[in-house]
Amino acid sequence: MFLSHIDEIESKKIENEHIKGAMKQVLISPAEGWADYVMRRFVLEKGGYAPKHSHPWPHITYVLEGNGILFFEGKEHPLSPGSVSYIPADSLHQIRATEESGLAFLCIVPPEGDV
């Protein structure tokens, strides 16, 4: 069994030429006993974003708070608390926060996707 609290889990800032205003927490992973998946929490500041990218694994997202945009295969889709998405492997996608609101969401990937 693993039990913790969001306030006790390390949060790492991620920022480079492709990512702006992002924080990442690994909540559950193989290290905590979930061998097949990794659940991460990302927080994007207002106007923050991940890069447009694709990869050979699928992932699931669930929006906790704030508003944003999911770019998926050339179309933009609004995100708000409660939004859920499944992104198939090898699909071009991006998540970004709006300029008015930050965005917090969970993202579940297989272990090879937690890079």
Residue 94: which domain range?
Answer: 6-113
Q: What type of residue is 12?
A: K
Give the HSE-up count for residue 72: Cα atoms under 13 Å, Cβ half-sphere: 14
Look at residue 103 in the predicted model and tell me its pLDDT: 98
Query: Is 114 in a helix, a strand, or coil?
Result: coil
How confident is the model over 19-23, as a mean pLDDT? 95
pLDDT digits (tens, 9 = 90+) for 32-86: 999 999 999 999 999 999 999 999 999 999 999 999 999 999 999 999 999 999 9
Query: What is d(CA 46, CA 78) in angstroms, rounded to the nearest whole number?
Result: 15
Residue 108 has pLDDT above 90, yes or no: yes
Q: What is the CATH number of the domain that holds 26?
A: 2.60.120.10
Q: What type of residue is 71?
A: F
Residue 12 lies in a domain: yes
Number of domains in the chain: 1
Residue 1 lies in a domain: no
